[in-house]
Structure 1
Amino acid sequence: MDALPGRSLPLGGGGTPSFLDHVRAHHPQLLPFGADIPAAAAQQAPHGTTIVALTFAGGVLMAGDRRATMGSLIASRRIEKVFPADRFSVVGIAGTAGIAIDMVRLFQVELEHYEKIEGTLLSLEGKANRLGAMVRANLPLAMQGLSVVPLFAGIEPGSRTGRLFSYDVTGGRHEECEHHSVGSGSVFARGALKKLWQPQLSASEAVTVAVEAIIDASDDDSATGGPDLARRLWPVTWRVTGDGAARVGQDELAAAVETVLARRMAEGREA
């Protein structure tokens, strides 16, 4: 995968707008799902967990916890699971961390390559379909326990309506309404989102809802890491509006965490 970010490979094939198709035809060994990986790797590979996404008035927001696990061990407390796909979309990863991160890099290059060849951005539907093709290509490894299940969100330039797309391990694409979550803590995060999400949330309110959903997931799922007050590690959070994708700052995240925890302490919660 080292060759992908540098884009040093010759185009060939008449300049196809799909970088994935080009690499598959000429250098399949560079694809993250083209490697020969031992079956035992599923037990030893770090896995990323909970991602949440929700719409708000004017866009869409995605956040991911910072924990990666390897069996019963915490492999990392600082992993990043949410990335900008391009200027108007973001992608979050759950599943085998190494393969997932390589898939995100490939997806980013795929979208950039399309824009350079065609001179225009790919539509949001087109981006969602391209990501589904990558997930489908990983199916043989998924059957060995090395699955990657992304969550994709974005907005069409000039629009104020965010859209969410989830996937299954076969690459099936499903558009979600209002909010969604993937990963080991998703069942708990999804329950929180159902209670907390409201139509026309403000951008700052959406951050607080996402943080609280991840805190709920971390409370019941050992593979999900909640906000780490000692290390000041907050969920990686990206917002997408008509102005583009932007990472939510540390100060805003810290304030959202403090708001949620202060309210819970004041309520005297025990469960």
Structure 2
Amino acid sequence: MSPDHSGRLPAAYLVPGSSSFADFARDHAPDVLTARRAAGAGAAEAAAHAPHGTTIVAAVFDGGVVMAGDRRATAGNLIAQRDIEKVFPADEHSCVGIAGTAGLAIEMVRLFQVELEHYEKIEGALLSFEGKANRLSAMIRGNLALAMQGLAVVPVFAGLDLAAGRGRIFSYDVTGGRYEEQHHHSVGSGSVFARGALKKLWRPGLDAAGAVRVAVEALWDAADDDSATGGPDLARRIWPVVAVVGAEGYRRVGDEELEAVVEAVVAGRRGDPGGTGAARAAGGERA
């Protein structure tokens, strides 16, 4: 958008329009949107060397949802970063986790955060939970051209639906398809292993602390079998990013609290790396 040297806002800012910031940017400053940038002939090489985020897990509990992400980013067979963050607040009562091309995913999350804040300022009301999920779906669909060239972004969106009074989880595909998941879900390269852990450990009636423990256990199982997923790093004191979203809003679990959970998981896995003891305990509590 061309600057107005008079010191006044450009006319585009003074014309009533959509409550979508993404639509506004597309109409007046499309170059700021990643999806409008052509990847070009080098897209395949860029996709191979760009850092990728891997495993995200989410699980509902009575009164909200927990989301957790490992901290490893990979570039081919190399560890590109050991402490990347993949779980972010979307607004006060929702969060988003990223898997796929890390740079594009983080930029999409930032745009999504602005999108929700912009809607609230323009409309004077919160967007419904379904509306938030739909807005993210549209952003992913806008990235389809880059995704088809190997630069894909596949987030998971979760939070507390204030109208329904319960935690909800939505997953997506690269075309922007939106799917509501029941109870728990995982995405990323370690998702198959994490999903197996979630199935054996999640149970109805979990509280927030129980859901945090289940999420950390699931990431541990993913890291055990997927080289692109980083487990808790006790030597470097690098823990997963774990967020709890409930009636009080978004809260990132602190390092001290998380360290205690990780140490309990590690202690439980000594001599039982497959976590059969944790699974039996979860089964007994169900009964």
Given the two structures, how large is their TM-score scaled by the length of structure 1?
A: 0.94
Contact 1:160–1:241 (CA under 8 A) maintained in structure 2: no
Does 2:107 align with 1:102? yes
Distance change (3 Å), C-alpha of 1:269 and 1:16: closer
Corresponding residue of 2:24: 22
Matched, 1:127 2:132: yes
Match of 2:74 in 1: 69
* Corresponding residue for residue 154 of structure 1: 159
Deviation at 1:179, TM superposition (A): 0.0
Q: Distance in 2 between matches of 1:261 and 1:99?
A: 34
Distance (Å, rounded) in 2 between the aligned partners of 1:13 and 1:168: 35
Q: Secondary structure at the match of 2:98?
A: strand
For the pair shown, the structure with the greater C-alpha radius of gyration is: 2
Q: Provide the residue aligned with 2:38 in structure 1.
A: 36
Query: Would the aligned equivalents of 1:54 and 1:61 in 2 still touch at CA under 8 Å?
Result: yes
1:190 maps to 2:192: no
Match of 1:237 in 2: 242
The 5-angstrom pairing of residues 82-231 of structure 1 reads 82-157=87-162, 160-231=165-236
| d(CA) in 2 for partners of 1:13, 1:184 | 45
Alpha-carbon shift at residue 117 of structure 1 (Å): 0.2
Q: Distance in 2 between matches of 1:83 and 1:270?
A: 28
What is the CA–CA distance in structure 2 between the aligned matches of 1:268 and 1:11, rounded to whole Å?
58
1:113–1:224 distance in 2 versus 1, CA, 3 Å? same
Q: Distance in 2 between matches of 1:33 and 1:257?
A: 38
2-structure distance, mates of 1:263, 1:178: 24
Query: Which runs of 5 or more structure 2 residues have no equivalent in the other structure?
Result: 1-8, 277-287
Question: For residue 31 of structure 2, what is the amino acid of its counterpart?
Answer: Q
The TM-score with structure 2 as length reference comes to 0.88
Q: How many residues align?
A: 264
Indicate the RMSD between aligned Cα atoms, in angstroms: 1.7
Matches within 5 A, 1:1-12: 11-12=13-14
In structure 2, how many angstroms separate the alpha carbons of the residues matched to 1:144 and 1:93? 18
1:242, CA displacement in angstroms?
Answer: 1.2
Amino acid at match of 2:28: H
In 2, are the aligned partners of 1:159 and 1:242 still within 8 Å (CA)? no
Cα displacement string for residues 7-65 of structure 1 (whole angstroms, at most 9, x for unaligned residues): x9853541420000000111111002122223121111100000000001111010000
Q: Do the aligned residues in 2 keep the contact of 1:89 with 1:154 (CA within 8 Å)? A: yes
Letter in 2 for 1:150: P
Q: Which amino acid aligns with 2:19?
A: P
Unaligned runs of 5+ in 1: 1-7
1:62–1:237 CA contact under 8 A, matched in 2: yes
Q: Sequence identity, in percent?
A: 66
The match for 1:5 is none
- Superposed CA deviations along residues 177-211 of structure 1, whole A, max 9, x for unmatched, are 00000000000000000000010111111111000
State the 1:252 CA deviation.
Answer: 1.4
The separation in 2 between residues aligned to 1:270 and 1:111, in whole angstroms, is 40
